[in-house]
């Protein structure tokens, strides 16, 4: 009888343990499965426009960012910052001597191929993370040792449409990045998933009322940068970004579109050209008005020039 009781007790323990393992696995799968628009789920059924979606998502340190996966290991991005300083590529950075202030930030973000070398006094020296457009990848590969060499521990997050980023051998940009990862095994390169790209499109439509594709718009690298920063940074400082009304103000500061391209078109002229382009244009001015809205519900501050948020 004692033997039978022991066997019965063992079976009950085994069943209980199996249930616990099964439930635990289910929780892990639910939490870590990548869903398109997973950040939006808490706000469905509520009025979308009154609160920006990310304000519903409290900042959580140490959670993996599932919309960004590494090459070649396909692991999610893990980076968390109490304060991120995002450095614009704008000519507004010139002559502001913001470099020392930027360098005091724990995390410093740059975009595309914007250099720090030669501009340290205005833009700082360090780079924690660099958000890169698929169109700028060839520019990075012109200086592969500088961007991807062993001494460089910058994280690269590359966004782009599926046609360029597909992993079946037909994605031209993805192939370039895979080759770079082979040549520089220490390089930390991540690509945006198709789900995350769709999500960024949907945020644009929800915030502007315009379908990105139908309206002939291309999202800017700044758009992808800010959406990632909202997910990853407790507080965000943005340097050198103008607001949506800046180009209409009298006596505004005329600067080159990029601080590192002295002869490039005036920034406001470039913005206006893009804003009115029937297709293939970035909607920089529209995006800036959305950023101003986000700044009211999130810890975002703008420097050089400062923004007056009403």
With beta carbons less than 8 A apart as the criterion, state whether 124 and 93 touch: no
**Which residue, among 223, 215, 203, has the nearest Cα to 281 in the 3D structure?**
215
Mean pLDDT of the chain: 84
Given this model, what pLDDT does residue 18 score? Answer: 52
Give the Cα separation of 155 and 152 in Å (integer): 9
Q: Identify the band that residue 60 occupies on the pLDDT scale cut at 50, 70 and 90.
A: low
For 4-14, what is each residue's pLDDT tens digit?
445 455 445 55
The helix-helix angle for 194-208 and 284-294 (nearest 10°) equals 90
**Which residue, among 261, 262, 282, has the nearest Cα to 270 in the 3D structure?**
282
With beta carbons less than 8 A apart as the criterion, state whether 289 and 223 touch: no
Given this model, what pLDDT does residue 9 score? Answer: 52
Given this model, what pLDDT does residue 282 score? Answer: 87
- Which domains are assigned to the chain? 65-303 (3.90.1480.20)
Which position has the higher pLDDT, 40 or 213?
213
Which position has the higher pLDDT, 213 or 33?
213
Query: Looking at the predicted structure, is the pLDDT value of residue 267 above 70?
Result: yes
For 86-128, what is each residue's pLDDT tens digit?
999 999 999 999 999 999 999 999 999 999 999 999 999 999 9
Tokens coding 115: 């250099």
Q: Identify the band that residue 226 occupies on the pLDDT scale cut at 50, 70 and 90.
A: very high
What is the H or E stretch that residue 300 is in?
strand 300-303
3-state secondary structure of 281: strand
Query: Looking at the predicted structure, is the pLDDT value of residue 41 above 50?
Result: no
Given this model, what pLDDT does residue 277 score? Answer: 84
Percent of residues, the chain, with pLDDT higher than 90? 65
With beta carbons less than 8 A apart as the criterion, state whether 218 and 281 touch: yes
Omega within 30 of 0 (cis) for the link into 225: no
- Within 13 Å of residue 227, how many CA atoms lie on the same side as its CB? 28
Residue with tokens 């410093």: 108
Which position has the higher pLDDT, 176 or 47?
176
């Amino acid at each position: 009888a004692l033997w039978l009781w022991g066997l019965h007790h063992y079976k009950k323990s085994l069943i209980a343990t199996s249930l616990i393992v099964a439930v635990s696995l289910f929780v892990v799968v639910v939490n870590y499965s990548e869903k398109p628009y997973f950040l939006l789920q808490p706000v469905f059924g509520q009025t979308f426009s009154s609160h920006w979606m990310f304000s519903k998502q409290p900042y959580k340190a140490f959670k993996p960012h599932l919309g960004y996966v590494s090459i070649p290991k396909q692991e999610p991005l893990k980076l968390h910052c109490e304060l991120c300083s995002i450095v614009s590529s704008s000519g507004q950075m010139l002559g502001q001597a913001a470099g020392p202030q930027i360098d005091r930030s724990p995390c410093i973000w740059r975009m595309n191929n914007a250099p720090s070398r030669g501009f340290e006094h205005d833009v700082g020296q360090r780079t924690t993370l660099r958000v890169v457009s698929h169109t700028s990848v060839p520019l990075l590969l012109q200086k592969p040792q500088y961007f991807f060499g062993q001494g460089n521990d910058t994280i690269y997050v590359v966004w782009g449409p599926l046609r360029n980023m597909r992993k079946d051998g037909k994605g031209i940009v993805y192939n370039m990045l895979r080759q770079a990862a082979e040549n520089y095994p220490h390089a930390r390169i991540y690509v945006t998933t198709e789900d995350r790209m769709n999500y960024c499109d949907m945020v644009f439509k929800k915030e502007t009322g315009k379908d990105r594709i139908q309206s002939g718009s291309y999202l800017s690298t700044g758009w992808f940068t800010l959406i990632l920063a909202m997910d990853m940074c407790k507080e965000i400082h943005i340097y050198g970004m103008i607001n949506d009304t800046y180009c209409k103000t009298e006596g505004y500061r005329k600067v080159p579109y990029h601080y590192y391209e002295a002869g490039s078109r005036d920034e406001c002229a470039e913005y206006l050209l893009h804003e009115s382009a029937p297709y293939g244009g970035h909607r920089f001015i529209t995006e800036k008005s959305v950023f101003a809205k986000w700044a009211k519900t999130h810890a975002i501050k703008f420097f050089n020039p400062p923004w007056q948020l009403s």
